[in-house]
Amino acid sequence: RAENSLHPLSSYLLRLMTLKQSNLCLSADVSTTNQLLNLADAIGPHIVVLKTHYDLISNWDYNPTTGTGARLARIARRRGFLIFEDRKFGDIGNTVQLQYTEGTAKIIEWSHITNVNMIPGKAAVDALADAAVRWRERKRYDYDACPGRQESFSCQCGTEG
């Protein structure tokens, strides 16, 4: 199925599922950075997706390079899983874009998957998709066909993704 998928993230997820012989997604409902990072590191080899709620973490570090999101993304690359920030965006298009790309947590920088509350309608989904396209053009991220390696989700622009 992975080779027939039209979207690179879908293809990558399907490869992860095949490689790990699993479709397990763990919801990390914890309240501190250490709990989140320790859980991700310990369970990472056994899951394909880790679902997070960054706003539950009382000591979330917002630094884009050394903070909680960046550290979690490094663990995800090393352990071979995707991060799903369960945000349920629910505002008008421009606000949703800003929350996703420029908000305090810069979710787009560390989370592979997010979601939208459909009350605001299709415009919110379209706005997130547009923001992701513009971000990807700036960052030039690629999905490697060999999930589980440290380089499996790498950035061509010279920084870790």
Tokens of 21: 């012989």
Question: What is the structure's pLDDT at 148?
Answer: 37
Q: How many CB atoms lie within 10 A of CB 71?
A: 19
- What gap in Å lies between CA 136 and CA 138, rounded to an integer? 5
**Mean pLDDT confidence for 3-11:** 79
62: left (phi over 0), alpha (psi -120 to 50) or beta: alpha
Question: What is the structure's pLDDT at 140?
Answer: 60
Question: What is the structure's pLDDT at 141?
Answer: 54
Q: Place 1 in a pLDDT band, splitting at 50, 70 and 90.
A: confident
Cα→Cα distances 95→37, 98, 127, Å = 29, 5, 9
Question: What is the structure's pLDDT at 107?
Answer: 94
Residue 2 has pLDDT above 90, yes or no: no
For the whole model, what pTM was predicted? 0.81
Active-site residue list = 88
pLDDT in tens, 26-61: 999 999 999 999 999 999 999 999 999 999 999 999
Residue 15 has pLDDT above 80, yes or no: yes
Strands (E), the chain: 25-27, 49-52, 82-89, 113-116, 141-143, 153-155
- What gap in Å lies between CA 48 and CA 76, rounded to an integer? 9
Cβ-in-10-Å burial (0-12, 13-18, 19+) of 20 comes to middle
Question: What is the structure's pLDDT at 138?
Answer: 79
Residue appearing with tokens 């989700």: 153
Cα 17 to chain centroid distance, Å, stands at 16
Question: What is the structure's pLDDT at 157?
Answer: 29
Question: What is the structure's pLDDT at 37?
Answer: 98
Question: What is the structure's pLDDT at 77?
Answer: 94
pLDDT in tens, 88-147: 988 888 999 999 999 899 999 999 999 988 887 888 889 999 998 888 787 765 544 333
Question: What is the structure's pLDDT at 145?
Answer: 35
